[in-house]
Amino acid sequence: MVGGCTVLYKRPRSFLAVVAVAFVTASAAACQARRDTLDVLFIGNSYIYFNDLPAMVEEISAALDGPVIHGVAHTRGGQTLRGHLDEGHLGKILMKGAASGDDWDWVVLQEQSTLGTRYDPTTGVLGDPAAFNRAVRELTGIIRGRGAKPALYMTWAKEAFPGQAETLGDAYSSIGRELDLSVAPVGVAWAAVHQDRPNFNLYISDGSHPTAAGSYLAACVIYATLTGRSPLGAPRELRGAPWDFQGIVESSSSTILVSLPAADAAFLQKAAWDAVTAQRNGAP
């Protein structure tokens, strides 16, 4: 990715899957091959390519029982969903389906963290969600028309303005109810972690983007949302592609994305699962 341009990148094969192929018996490998798979397209911006979030989701799915997720991302730094629509690329990408030639199973939509309109950085007042809602309605029609299921990736409050969490949660939940969409409550899990352990560092120095632990939390929530399965027991160390502030540097390479103490990984997994189960039980 150069200069923040839009990129469509396929995740390198899961490191865990490579290890499995190298060391398991032929019968175990055949059993692994029969596992269900989910082809997932992520559409958004840096909150997706930071720490190679799709690869984290893949690695979690490869290590746990249940379907194996194969992720592809279409991102541009700072981009809104409306901006992605206006670029005119999404129709072609959605028509292409996954690399295997099959259709997408899920398309995960992540709006710009300020909801993309008239954000006031001095007061932290977020933009009117109307533009977000219109873009989600349009994208939902396109995605369902391609036979895939749309899901929303709820983002989190800026570090300086924790009150944004309620506004963001309401915006995502409202449009999710209107259109009967699955919503990955990342922002809810983020707020719960901050409340339980205020010194747990989910933000980098800009107070907006996620640390590796922040992306790990998001990956656990998204995995649970797409599969309906708990992320408890996920690996504490995950691998993926090298990245920088502009995007993925080399999608065919692999590096360690996150390596957490076991207790911290378990804490984040539980926070993610609690947020997802609470939402399913009707929590706002």
Is 76 among the domain residues?
A: yes
CATH assignment at residue 27: 3.40.50.1110
Is 2 among the domain residues?
A: no
* Contact call for residues 4 and 45 (beta carbons, < 8 A): no
Give me the number of domains the chain comprises.
Answer: 1
N-term to C-term CA, the chain: 38
Residue from 121, 119, 101, 122 nearest 39 by CA: 101
Is 151 among the domain residues?
A: yes
* Contact call for residues 58 and 96 (beta carbons, < 8 A): no
Residue from 230, 233, 253 nearest 241 by CA: 253
Dump pLDDT digits (tens) for 15-47.
444 433 333 334 444 445 567 999 999 999 999
Dump pLDDT digits (tens) for 70-120.
999 999 999 999 999 999 888 888 876 545 556 899 999 999 999 877 788
Is 232 among the domain residues?
A: yes
Q: What pLDDT, on a 0 to 100 scale, did the predictor assign at position 189?
A: 98
Question: What is the domain extent for residue 122?
Answer: 7-280
Is 15 among the domain residues?
A: yes
Query: Which residues does the chain have with pLDDT short of 50?
Result: 1-6, 13-31, 98
Q: What pLDDT, on a 0 to 100 scale, did the predictor assign at position 284?
A: 62
Is 184 among the domain residues?
A: yes
SS3 breakdown of the chain: % helix, strand, coil, rounded to 5? 45, 15, 40
Give the Cα separation of 32 and 48 in Å (integer): 28
Is 1 among the domain residues?
A: no
pTM above 0.85, yes or no: yes
Q: What pLDDT, on a 0 to 100 scale, did the predictor assign at position 139?
A: 96
